[in-house]
Amino acid sequence: MVWGTIIAAYLFLAGLSAGAFLTSSYSARRYPNSADVRIVGRLISPILMGIGLLLLILDAEAGLKNPLRFLYLFTNFKSVMTIGTYFISFFMMAAAYIALMELLKKEINKVIEYVGIVFAVATAIYTGFLIGVIGAVPLWNTAILPILFVVSALSTGIAGTMLGAALVDKKVIHQVLSIKKIHLTLLVTEVFLLFTMFLVTSSTNESAAQSVSKLLTGEYSAFFWVGLVIIGLLVPIIIEGLELFSYKKLSNSRAGQEVAAGGTSGITSTLLTESAVLAGGFILRYLLLAAAVPIIFL
């Protein structure tokens, strides 16, 4: 299989879908009155997962040229892809059911929701293990990668959900403060994990060092530093940090209460921040696939 742009998009959408589902479940419990966050997260989750699966099916190497290969995914239990296929299948069914119940405005079965939460987490983890088990590529074959992908999935899931919710109701960004705090923590953690992974893997062998070099100083360096680090991580961290700091200062003042009530403050920064995080999430996966140098066995 060629690990190209389509696979990067698939990994991105799968993680985003899982993160959006988990964001909506958290919001439903922590902020029951902020229905827009809950509804948006639950509606976009199965849609994004479906788009990701469609991209995988249409991929030239795994879909149209060999469609029977997908049947094999359900029977080869020694493969991580088979396990992941079941994770995604159960998650997709639970997410689709919950989205339908939201559209019909009916009560959601709690057992199915908990099943969805479990398999959403499993799906997020799987997106890292899918390429992490390939021992011939040292950049991928590290225990840090699945953790990095889970953190990125949660971050992009929050970004996608908050972006959609803010477009529906600009006041919602002032009603889910803990989600914004979690988001900032995830972004900082992602920076730490990314450079820790580079530090650890670059010292393992020549192929790993070449992969890291291609990202930090080589052919992908401009895309890495500008697209991922600056736009995808540092800009959202700075904006989220400043916004939370300003909100804390204003929260007890009359002016702050008026801002929150009117919902006119923060909408532009929210749209910018969440869009940048989504872009960074895709760029992360694309670069890790594109810059990987395999071990050449003689």
Spans of all domains in the chain: 5-290
Predicted confidence at residue 90, as pLDDT, reads 96
Q: What CATH fold (topology level) applies to the domain 5-290?
A: Formate dehydrogenase/DMSO reductase fold (1.20.1630)
- Residue 251 scores a pLDDT above 60: yes
- Residue 224 scores a pLDDT above 60: yes
- Least reliable range by pLDDT among 64-68, 177-181, 286-290: 64-68
- CA 131, CA 224: separation in Å to the nearest integer? 20
Whole-model pTM above 0.85?
A: yes
In this prediction, residue 236 has a pLDDT band, given cuts at 50, 70 and 90, of very high
Task: Measure CA of the first residue to CA of the last residue in the chain; give whole Å.
Answer: 22
In this prediction, residue 262 has a pLDDT band, given cuts at 50, 70 and 90, of very low
Predicted confidence at residue 1, as pLDDT, reads 43
